[in-house]
Chains A and B, each alone.
Chain A
Amino acid sequence: MNTDQPIIQIHDLYYRYEKENVLEDINLSIPSGAFLAVVGPNGSGKSTLLKLILGLLKVQTGEIKVFGEDINRFKERHLIGFVSQKANSFNTGFPATVYEVVASGLTKKVGLFKFLTSGDKQKVFEAIESVGLTKFINRNIGDLSGGQQQRVFIARALVSDPRLLILDEPTVGVDAQHVQSFYEMLEQLNKDLGITLLLVTHDIGTISNKVTHVACLNKHLYFHGNSHEFEHFQEHGVSEFYGYDVNLLTHEHHHHHEGVKR
């Protein structure tokens, strides 16, 4: 596969629910190996954009190409790993071990009516190892902390060897002390395994020194560039984009959540 080719290319994308546009005129290209943060307030169309990229919603106007192929024709879904926001609100009473949950990430790749081979099982062990949960492999997922559960979902996404990993606000519900180490792990996946990351978040403060690219979305794409350009943009355009003073978007370690209107 051509590594120079952007992982995702979006051209003139519009999307509407009922009569209202939630996305307008989106043009976005994600280069291979990038760590892109998509930032935007609630209701800015972030989740819609993700659902379109994941094929959960059909493209209405415009074009999305993943790995160079039109999204409607794209079949190799296992190349895209997904960790959803809902991962935090799954049924914690569900009786499944860490191993079982991670192995379920291979369901499509292994295929209908087929069973996991010993090679597949090895992959499951490796994925669990890579998120540092080997110790908990036979625990029920409901018995783990929020941060550990989130790692389980990352492992489930990693097990099918994705080249792109999409994370929708993965740190919601993860206690503050574990957020930093969580992002460090993401950085490792990006640098060591070369996995392209697309992270949707409110919380640009914690990660702006880790990501390589930033996109600011609020129906339109307000900014799209690498993180150095973003620092410049931040000084001039971000407050306007959010419509309020955004302490959240600085590099300070203390977040002033109480000052943020939602």
Chain B
Amino acid sequence: MIEAIFEYEFLQNSFLTGAIIGIIAPLLGVFIVVRRLSLIADALSHVTLAGIAASLFIEKKFLLFSGLNPLYMGMIFSVFGSVLIEKLRSVYKDYQELAIPIILSGGIGLGVIFISLAEGFNTDLFGYLFGSVSAVSRMDLYVILAISIIVITLIVLLYKELFLLSFDEEHATASGIAVKRIHFIFIVMVALVIAASMRVVGILLVSSLMTLPVAASIRFAKGFKQTILFSVLFGETSVLGGLILSYYLDLAPGGTIVMIAVLILIATIVIKKIYSARPA
């Protein structure tokens, strides 16, 4: 396997991409989970699907766009979806969670229409749904690398604000922080990372890579920074472990990655139970 990674460019691409996603997805995931916005990731991933389906449709129908990378259209749709969620949340002030099913079903609806317009299931699409080791191009890798640099820089620079916003939005507002702007930047970052992650993990499983490592970490971490640290560690373990296993056993990488994350989560719950049952 290790030799294969060095030998085949497509394996290099997916491993490097996976390694990057293993960091940024759980990193953003920590903020998503503590703000109880886990379902937003789901909604956005389905909007991304619509973007990809649209891109595949255009590619098929108009030869002019034959080289079009579905990643771009996925990102555009995802970011657009995130803006729409924020708009809907301000329209339904008392039912903010309504924005999520609206966007989620809208995303699927649009996606299905594009799929049917493109006359049926494209084999590519299967890879986007469940992840694929072979689909990642060098160009994808560069785009995802650029996104991750932007995301990590923004999180470091806005860490104080994002923390306060997550912990106590009212206090953030009262102390004069530009809450709306910071939140907007955050949600756009989430949209970008979801679109970036879909190649490897697949659209249907992206949100789990943002939430499961955090769910495990939050069981025992002391403090916010430690929660981030362990989330990234678990996320990275899941992605790299999942990619290696899926390559050897010829499984869908997305599913394997997520199942490793689930196993880690179960392990932390069990270990915590044993540990706290033992007298100190």
**Footprint of B on A, CB under 8 Å?**
54-56, 75, 77-78, 82, 84, 86, 90-91, 93-97, 99-101, 104-108, 110, 112-113, 115-116, 138-140, 156
Contacts and interface: CB of A to CB of B under 8 A. Distances in A.
A204 to B, nearest CB: 25
B174 A93 contact: no
B278 interface: no
Nearest to B221: A95
| 5 A-B pairs with least C-beta separation | A97-B223, A95-B227, A77-B176, A108-B175, A107-B160
B222 A104 contact: no
Interface centre among B166, B168, B170 (most CB of A within 10 A): B168
B121 interface: no
Given A110-B160, A138-B222, A90 B172 contact: no
B172 A107 contact: yes
12 contacts: A77-B174, A77-B176, A78-B175, A94-B166, A95-B218, A104-B164, A107-B175, A108-B177, A113-B157, A116-B160, A138-B222, A140-B223
Interface residues of B, number: 28
Contacts of B173: 56
Given A95-B34, A95-B218, A100 B223 contact: yes
A93 B224 contact: no
Nearest to A74: B176
A216 B113 CA distance: 63
A94 B170 contact: no
Given A93-B218, A107-B164, A55 B174 contact: yes
Contact of A94 (B34, B157, B160): B34
B141 to A, nearest CB: 29
B273 interface: no
A104 B166 CA distance: 11
Contacts of B226: 95
B167 A101 contact: yes
A86 B168 CA distance: 9
Contact of A107 (B36, B161, B218, B223): B161
B163 A104 contact: yes
A56 B161 contact: no
A43 B223 CA distance: 37
Nearest to A82: B174
Contacts of B157: 112-113
Interface in B120-136: none
A110 B176 CA distance: 12
A90 B168 contact: yes
B190 to A, nearest CB: 19
A220 B265 CA distance: 56
Nearest to A96: B224
A55 to B, nearest CB: 7
Given A77-B176, A108-B175, 4 more contacts: A84-B171, A95-B223, A97-B224, A140-B222
Given A100-B225, A140-B223, A94 B167 contact: yes
Contacts of A156: 171
A206 B225 CA distance: 40
A113 B161 CA distance: 9
B174 A104 contact: no
Contacts of B172: 107
Interface string B142-160: 0000000000000001101
Contacts of A96: 163, 167, 223-224
